[in-house]
Amino acid sequence: MKNSERIANFALAGLTLAPLVMKVDPNLNVVLTACLTVYVGCYRSVKPTPPSETMSNEHAMRFPFVGSAMLLSLFLLFKFLSKDLVNAVLTCYFFVLGIVALSATLLPAIKRFLPTHWNDDAIIWRFPYFCSLEIEFTRSQIVAAIPGTFFCAWYASQKHWLANNILGLAFCIQGIEMLSLGSFKTGAILLAGLFVYDIFWVFFTPVMVSVAKSFDAPIKLLFPTADSARPFSMLGLGDIVIPGIFVALALRFDVSRGRKSQYFKSAFLGYIVGVVLTIVVMNWFQAAQPALLYIVPAVIGFLAVHVIWNGEVKPLLEFDESKTASQEGDDDKTSKKVE
């Protein structure tokens, strides 16, 4: 882990805990937390082997429609069923999901203090009466799941904003680390679709804001304010994860070419500008804003200008992690045959 990554990790942890002991401006907190989360997730996504599964263009095109269907379904559930009942079911779901996400986030830090065989030796557990179903895990993952379980139990019982944010940050980091767009073409399709999705559901319907306020689950980050009428500022996890996986792709593109974080810096700078612009417009109009309206053009625009300036549009558009993964798999098979 580089010093910059270590500093970002500590800064993110400190910023998350800071509102407990001191007054932190919520606008500054939103900007710094979102940017640090993207930074941490991007560097965690850089691994020796490329991702085995990537998003296709077809999946990217369908994603806004699937997201719209899920959003509308939640809106109708909250409208026609008991709000407490829906949130109770969702709490159980996020309890399990939170343990997995938080333990995976903590695992790299915990592994360093455990014996090597705890990290390498896999344990396979088969479900009783369903022998075809099995779970593979290591002792290190069990150890990492212990604090994750305590945090999830705290969240389920208290619904404290800090527990909500810790789980939300774990979801964001894991999403940016594990998801791969495959190529910049796919990323542009996804971001363009969600750009329209965000504008439609925020500006033209009450659905997005209504679900965000009713959905008592860690799908948003909460930032304490001094205003009793509006105790928290909110930022949806999608406004971090969706642009974050695009910025992470730019970093892995730089790494694949053996260069320093050249295009990552421009994409990351675009994300910072987009988040700041969202906060400025939100405070100016005193109304909720679709963050992707500002973040998507900024991220794509900054990266596009940098690439065009350097005359490297073709290599960037030809970059495809799915092909890289398949080529490495073929190389492995060939080497095994030679052996």
Residues with catalytic annotation?
Answer: 198, 239
Q: Where are the beta strands (DSSP E) in the chain?
A: 122-127, 130-138, 220-224, 232-236
55 contact partners, CB below 8 Å, separation of at least 6: 179, 180, 181, 182, 186, 190
Tokens 């606008």 locate to 27
Decide: 75 and 207 in contact? Cβ < 8 Å: yes
Residues pairing with 138 in the sheet: 122
CA distances from 56 to 78, 234, 244 (A): 33, 31, 17
Tokens in use for 50?
A: 């490329």
User: What is the Cα–Cα distance from 251 to 244, expressed in whole angstroms?
Assistant: 11
Phi (first) and psi of residue 224, to 5 degrees: -60, 140
